[in-house]
Structure 1
Amino acid sequence: MDARARAQDLYRTALDDAGWRPEVLTGDRGWTGTEFADALHLLSRLGLFVPSSDTRSGWTALAPDTALRNLLLEEEQHTGALLAAVQQTRSALAQVVADFQPVHARELSSVQMEVVTGAANVSAALEDASQRAEGEVLSLHPGRALPAGMVEAGLERDRLALGRGVRIRTVHLASAAAVPHMTAYLRRLNAAGAQVRTAHTLPLRLIVVDHSLAIVPAPPVEGAEGGGLAAVVLRSETLVGVLRGIFEHCWAGSAVLDTGPAAGGSGGGGTAAGADSDWQPTGRHRELLRMLAGGLTDEAMARKLGVSERTVRRLVSELTERLGAASRFQAGVCAVRLGWLDD
């Protein structure tokens, strides 16, 4: 006999004799205590047996339809409690939204990003940023030299800002600074009161105004005016703080602009080939050695240095010849041995 059959037998016994006793089943019919408890539990779970203090067994058998109504009523009460809890939670969430959404919205409004496309619009954004400057303008300029017209327009903006007492610090790629019209521009900018430095590599083009605005390049937009030129204007103290940190890192590793009459003339590092124990690599040579050690291609090195691939090959040739090396790899080994990459 399985558990369901024993439960039916127990239910039948209770209906036939309201004064039944557990011993009738465990003794007369040979059920074990566990078998009796399982049958009793099944009937109780189905609502057919309910506890009672008026019977000898402690249980009262109910009709199936009565048991079903009781189960449904209990489920309705449980469902009602759940619905009440859901309603209470909904009210609490509505209160949270009402109280804290405005605070969150104000926080989001402090982080603004605007994508500006087209040369004219980018120029207007730069003009607006320059006019907004109150304390300091920081900038990094990788890549090749900009056209003379663009740098002249930038010089006029910078002079106006300097005239208002705004501090300007700028770092340009050394190869670009060696171009004649860029050399003249940077000297004039320096003479106007800006602090100008050069570096052989820079991570990105960047303009930071005070502590709350920055402009960085965006991917070119196909079909847009001005060759797809685009920029992202960021207004967020947190993000601008990160970009300021990048600038300061580049600033610390850059060199003060040489304003002497021969400025920019030694950027290539090229003199007559030949063994010279006193010869030391230029900053550009050192950057080139680091990039060679990193496995960069001539194209990638040219892009980072802002020069042509032909110039990169010439610089590599100078290095290998100065070091008496037969290959690029051997040149790297010699440079490490001489301590040229220690700093």
Structure 2
Amino acid sequence: MEDVVRARAREIYRAALDAADWHPETLVASRGWNGTEFAEALQLLGELGLFTPSSDTRSGWTALSPDTALRNLLLEEDRSTGAYLDAMRQTRAALDRLVVDFHPLRVRGLLDAQLEVVTGAANVSAALEDASQRVEDEVLSLHPGRALPTEMIEAGLERDRLALGRGVRIRTIHLGAVAAVPHMASYLRRLNAEGAQVRTAHTLPLRLIVLDRSSAIVPAPPRPADGNDEEIAAVVLRGETLVGVFREIFEHCWASASVLADAHDEPDRPDDGSGWLPSGRHRELLRMLAGGLTDEAMARKLGLSERTVRRLVAELSERLGAASRFQAGVCAVRSGWLDD
């Protein structure tokens, strides 16, 4: 089936290169395809970046060369993670300056840096408990992924209360979709009431906990365990240079996140009377569709189930009158929904 879709995509691409004024209906009729067959091939061209939406052509699309498509895909990926990469580049530039101008300081800084891999749920929990007891000034955290079980949330809340009671400042960011889950909504309200600062975002780059300016905890790839299961693992990092990188990542996410009172997506609403406007989550989903992400990848980034993602995509397609995901992206661009 995939070979058939690729073959149709090549035919569409060739037709677009041969005649700039080609029209989808004419091509479908001449090939004897149905609408689904055409939409699947068109979606593949969009995912590969070979077709881009255009309001200036008869077909609604412009065909790009493979070289241009590849550059655009790389640029889009760079834009979607630009802030993260900028932080890494800045840190790398700082390290380069240390190598050239302050080599002894660099050597001492590297000797001070420490990495520790912690494996197993019990050991990871113990590391978190130990870190929460040692923190003196501030805790920063990012929480992508789906809602944690209630018992884990309650244990975390107790650790946070003890830290806040010692005068520790807590800033935390959760996914907006997760903040809408009842037991998570209750937890975040209580955490906010205890004095922590809570914000939400549509997507987050990684799970992260930064303690003061001296240590950070990030996930590590799961380790093989007995049987077929894998054990969770985490990396505990110590040293101001390494931890500084993760602080910059957090601060970027914090600046663009919403305060808890504004955690939920704005409701669907009419604009000036001419139509419907998408919520923030809808816009984020459309950007991911335009980037060619799978349902699984979009679900993971938004903290939703794949079923919910498919439902949201179907709703958007229906609103836009689109027959395919790619067409939905085209219509969203023409409507100006992704201009912000």
| TM-score, normalised by the number of residues in structure 1 | 0.63
1:131 to 133, 136, 143: 133
Question: Aligned equivalents of 1:277 and 1:120: distance in 2?
Answer: 56
Render the CA deviation track for 1:49-89: whole Å, top value 9, x for unaligned.
xxxxxxxxxxxxxxxxxxxxxxxxxxxxxxxxxxxxxxxxx
Report % sequence identity. 77
Question: Aligned equivalents of 2:106 and 2:137: distance in 1?
Answer: 29
Q: Which runs of 5+ in 2 are unaligned?
A: 1-103
Q: Structure 1 103/291 Cα, relative in aligned 2: closer, same or farther at 3 Å?
A: closer
- SS of the aligned residue for 1:144 comes to coil
Partner AA of 2:202 in structure 1: H
2:242 aligned residue: 239
Q: Structure 1 339/224 Cα, relative in aligned 2: closer, same or farther at 3 Å?
A: farther
Q: Which moves more between the two structures, 218-227 or 234-243?
A: 218-227
- Does residue 256 in structure 1 map to residue 253 in structure 2? no
Render the CA deviation track for 1:76-109: whole Å, top value 9, x for unaligned.
xxxxxxxxxxxxxxxxxxxxxxxxxx99875444
Shift of 1:123: 0.9
1:169 aligned residue: 171
- SS of the aligned residue for 2:318 comes to helix
Shift of 1:224: 6.5
Partner AA of 2:114 in structure 1: Q
2:151 to 143, 149, 152: 149
8 Å contact from structure 1 (residues 215, 233) kept in 2? yes
| TM-score, normalised by the number of residues in structure 2 | 0.64
Render the CA deviation track for 1:257-298: whole Å, top value 9, x for unaligned.
138xxx75x68x679xxxx74532112111101110101111
8 Å contact from structure 1 (residues 141, 204) kept in 2? yes
- Does residue 314 in structure 1 map to residue 311 in structure 2? yes
Larger RCO (alpha carbons 8 Å, 6+ apart): 2
1:283 aligned residue: 280
8 Å contact from structure 1 (residues 141, 206) kept in 2? yes
2:326 to 317, 324, 329: 329
2:181 aligned residue: 179
Shift of 1:201: 1.0
Partner AA of 2:175 in structure 1: L
Render the CA deviation track for 1:141-184: whole Å, top value 9, x for unaligned.
01000010111111011111111111111011112111111110
Q: Which runs of 5+ in 1 are unaligned?
A: 1-101
2:221 aligned residue: 219
Partner AA of 1:243 in structure 2: F
Question: Aligned equivalents of 1:137 and 1:295: distance in 2?
Answer: 35
Question: Aligned equivalents of 2:226 and 2:191: distance in 1?
Answer: 32
Shift of 1:318: 1.2
Shift of 1:307: 1.3
Question: Aligned equivalents of 2:207 and 2:163: distance in 1?
Answer: 20
Which of these two proteins has the greater Rg computed from alpha carbons?
Answer: 1
Matches within 5 A, 1:265-304: 277-304=274-301
Question: Aligned equivalents of 1:208 and 1:290: distance in 2?
Answer: 29
Q: Structure 1 224/179 Cα, relative in aligned 2: closer, same or farther at 3 Å?
A: farther
